[in-house]
Amino acid sequence: MKRKLKTTNQIIGIIILICNFTVCEGHTQEFKIDPSYFPLVENSTYYYRGFFNGKESVDGIKVRKTVLSGNCTGYYFEDLDGNSNSIIKSNMFGLGIYLRGIDGLYTVEAFWKNDIGKVHCIQKQKILPNSINLETKIEYLGKQSNPKYLLTVEGLENIEVPAGKFKDCLKIRILTKWDSNEEYVEYVWLSRDVGLVKWRRGTGKVEELLNFNLLSN
Predicted local distance difference test score (pLDDT) of residue 27: 45
Beta bridge partners of 48: 59, 209
How much is the pLDDT for 23? Answer: 35
Tell me the mean pLDDT in the region 159-170: 97
Q: pLDDT band for 143, please (50, 70, 90 cuts).
A: confident
| Cis, bond preceding 147 (omega within 30 deg of 0) | yes
User: Quick one: which of 63, 52, 40 has its CA closest to 201?
Assistant: 52
Which pLDDT score, from 0 to 100, does residue 166 have? 98
CA distance 213 to 194: 9
Convert the pLDDT of each residue in 36-68 to its tens digit: 999 999 999 999 999 999 999 998 899 999 999
Task: Report the half-sphere exposure of 188 (CA within 13 A, side-chain side).
Answer: 17
Q: How confident is the model at residue 31, as a pLDDT?
A: 80
Chain segment 169-199, per-residue pLDDT in tens:
999 999 999 888 889 999 999 999 999 999 9
**Closest by alpha carbon to 194, among 162, 163, 152?**
163
Q: pLDDT tens digits for 87-130?
A: 555 567 889 899 999 999 999 988 877 788 889 999 999 999 99
**CA-based nearest residue to 147, from 188, 106, 182, 196:** 182
Q: Which residue has the higher pLDDT, 215 or 112?
A: 215
* pTM, to two decimals: 0.82
CA atoms 86, 145, 34, 15: torsion sign = negative
Instruction: Confirm if 159 and 190 have CB atoms less than 8 A apart.
Output: no
Q: How high does pLDDT run on average in the chain? A: 83
Domains contained in the chain, CATH given = 29-213 (2.40.360)
Rounded-to-integer distance, Cα 152 and Cα 190, Å:
13
Q: Which residue has the higher pLDDT, 97 or 1?
A: 97
168 falls in which pLDDT band (50, 70, 90)?
very high
